[in-house]
């Protein structure tokens, strides 16, 4: 009889563990802010917005209700609307396309490249006389080739609005995701690299007119001087959430280093598994500083591997429920994107988060090697 192999439970994400890690500090922030009765548009929010702006090297940050609102507001503030086409990668959350739709423009999905981010060649091929913007998703914590996208944008007089929901702290040639275009949005959804206790997001811009327009849109149409300048929404980041975020921003650089360490570990441990395509390793390309919001591999026999890992106590996730945006025919998409179709039969996200131990990553890799008989 063989001894039963120990099963380690590796959850995909562990919210309670994240809370426990600094429970006392969170409770203290809650108490301190609540005692002041400081809930909407107070100092904690302003402080967080300015710390984040300096972290990013951007002029302005506006806390908003969530990144989906932020993307729509960014587009509207950049005067993108009815009759305009906006090109984005089909490998993204439906939120990217929904923001374009609700801004009144037409979402045009295109192929991604081998690093799973928008393919500049596909972008250029999709430009028509109605194209007004490119909306790259800085997917999985990696920033797209912004040099190539900026060249295309300049050539065709397009603006860039980044979906940087997954990319806080990621850089391309030293410049932060979220600062390349006219405006961008970042998400503080609890599972994002910087997460709050519910929904939250930010609009980032270095253009004063666009920023002022975004502020008015998110504040019922009132501009910073308190004058009503048009129709607006109500989309704000709660002051309390901003205070929780400021606390975590203090050691965010260390958090990123931890994520990069874990990604490096995966990269090493899976190096000899020919059936798995790994994301670029942390130091593999001097142009890219990746923060590994997700660790998304490509795997032969993906569905069988997922089940095998589940049997070993390991939770994995297939992003976007396994469907690229152009595959959502119900929403009227008709594009044929064969590379993305193929890729979506192979994608799988392995657990990479702030609660997983190095041993957890090694265990996952052992099981993957076991599955392929290596
Ligand atoms: C999470 C996410 C969003 C949406 O962010 P919310 O804050 O939940 O609205 C948009 N785009 C991408 C790529 C995301 O990962």
pLDDT tens for each residue of 325-336: 999 999 999 999
Alpha carbon distance 110, 149 (integer Å) = 13
Alpha carbon distance 289, 14 (integer Å) = 25
> Does the Cβ of 241 fall within 6 Å of ligand 1?
no
Alpha carbon distance 35, 180 (integer Å) = 39
Alpha carbon distance 371, 273 (integer Å) = 10
DSSP H helices, the chain, are 15-21, 23-36, 43-56, 67-77, 94-102, 120-126, 146-156, 208-218, 239-249, 252-269, 302-311, 338-343, 358-371
User: What pLDDT does 1 receive?
Assistant: 46
> Does the Cβ of 67 fall within 6 Å of ligand 1?
yes
> Does the Cβ of 95 fall within 6 Å of ligand 1?
yes
**Ligand 1 nearest atom to the CA of residue 188, by list position:** 7
Alpha carbon distance 140, 352 (integer Å) = 11
Count CA atoms closer than 13 A to 14's CA, side-chain side.
16
Cβ 57 vs Cβ 176: under 8 Å: yes
> For 302-316, b where at least 16 C-beta lie within 10 A, e where not — what string?
beebbebbeebebbb
Collapsing DSSP to helix, strand or coil, 140 comes out as: helix
Q: Which pTM value belongs to this model? A: 0.97
Alpha carbon distance 105, 85 (integer Å) = 6
Quick: pLDDT tens for 231-251: 999 999 999 999 999 999 999
pLDDT in tens, the chain (374 residues): 455 567 899 999 999 999 999 999 999 999 999 999 999 999 999 999 999 999 999 999 999 999 999 999 999 999 999 999 999 999 999 999 999 999 999 999 999 999 999 999 999 999 999 999 999 999 999 999 999 999 999 999 999 999 999 999 999 999 999 999 999 999 999 999 999 999 999 999 999 999 999 999 999 999 999 999 999 999 999 999 999 999 999 999 999 999 999 999 999 999 999 999 999 999 999 999 999 999 999 999 999 999 999 999 999 999 999 999 999 999 999 999 999 999 999 999 999 999 999 999 999 999 999 999 98
Going from the Cα of 201 to the center of ligand 1, the distance in angstroms, rounded, reads 9
The residue to which tokens 């990123």 are assigned: 256
Task: Identify the sign of the CA torsion 221, 225, 227, 230.
Answer: negative
User: What pLDDT does 69 receive?
Assistant: 98
> Does the Cβ of 189 fall within 6 Å of ligand 1?
yes
Collapsing DSSP to helix, strand or coil, 182 comes out as: coil
CA-CA-CA-CA dihedral for 277, 280, 282, 287, to nearest 10:
180
> Does the Cβ of 65 fall within 6 Å of ligand 1?
no
User: What pLDDT does 7 receive?
Assistant: 83
> Beta 131-135 vs 159-163: how paired, if at all?
parallel
**Ligand 1 nearest atom to the CA of residue 70, by list position:** 9
Tokens of 63: 């806390």
| Domains of the chain, first to last | 19-249 (3.40.640.10), 252-371 (3.90.1150.10)
């Amino acid at each position: 009889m063989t001894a039963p192999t120990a099963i380690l439970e590796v959850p995909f994400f562990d919210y309670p563990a994240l809370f426990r890690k600094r429970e006392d500090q969170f409770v203290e922030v809650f108490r301190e802010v609540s005692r002041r009765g400081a809930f909407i548009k107070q100092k904690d929010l302003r402080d967080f917005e300015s710390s984040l702006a300096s972290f990013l090297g951007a002029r302005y940050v506006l806390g908003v209700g969530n990144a989906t609102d932020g993307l729509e507001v960014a587009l509207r503030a950049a005067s993108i609307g009815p009759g305009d086409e906006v090109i984005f990668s089909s490998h993204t959350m439906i939120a990217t396309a929904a923001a374009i739709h609700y801004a009144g423009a037409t979402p045009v999905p295109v192929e991604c490249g081998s690093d799973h981010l928008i393919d500049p060649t596909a972008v250029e091929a999709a430009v028509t006389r109605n194209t007004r913007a490119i909306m790259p998703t800085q997917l999985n914590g990696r920033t797209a080739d912004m040099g190539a996208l900026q060249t295309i944008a300049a050539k065709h007089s397009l603006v860039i609005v980044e979906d940087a929901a997954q990319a806080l702290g990621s850089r391309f040639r030293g410049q932060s995701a979220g600062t390349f275009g006219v405006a961008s949005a970042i998400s503080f959804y609890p599972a994002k690299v910087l997460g709050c206790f519910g929904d939250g997001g930010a609009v980032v811009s270095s253009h004063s007119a666009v920023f002022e327009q975004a502020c008015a849109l998110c504040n019922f149409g009132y501009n910073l001087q308190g004058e009503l300048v048009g129709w607006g929404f109500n989309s704000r980041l709660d002051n309390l959430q901003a205070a929780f975020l400021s606390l975590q921003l203090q050691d965010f650089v260390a958090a990123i280093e931890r994520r990069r360490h874990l990604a490096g570990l995966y990269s090493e441990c899976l190096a000899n598994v020919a059936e798995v395509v790994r994301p670029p390793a942390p130091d593999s390309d001097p142009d890219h500083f990746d923060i590994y919001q997700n660790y998304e591999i490509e795997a032969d026999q993906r569905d069988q591997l997922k089940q095998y890992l589940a049997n070993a106590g390991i939770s994995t996730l297939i992003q976007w429920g396994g469907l690229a945006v152009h595959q959502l025919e119900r929403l009227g998409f008709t594009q044929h994107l064969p590379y993305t179709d193929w890729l979506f039969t192979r994608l799988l996200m392995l657990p990479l988060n702030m609660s997983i131990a190095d041993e957890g990553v090694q265990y996952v890799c052992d099981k993957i090697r076991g599955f392929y008989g290596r």
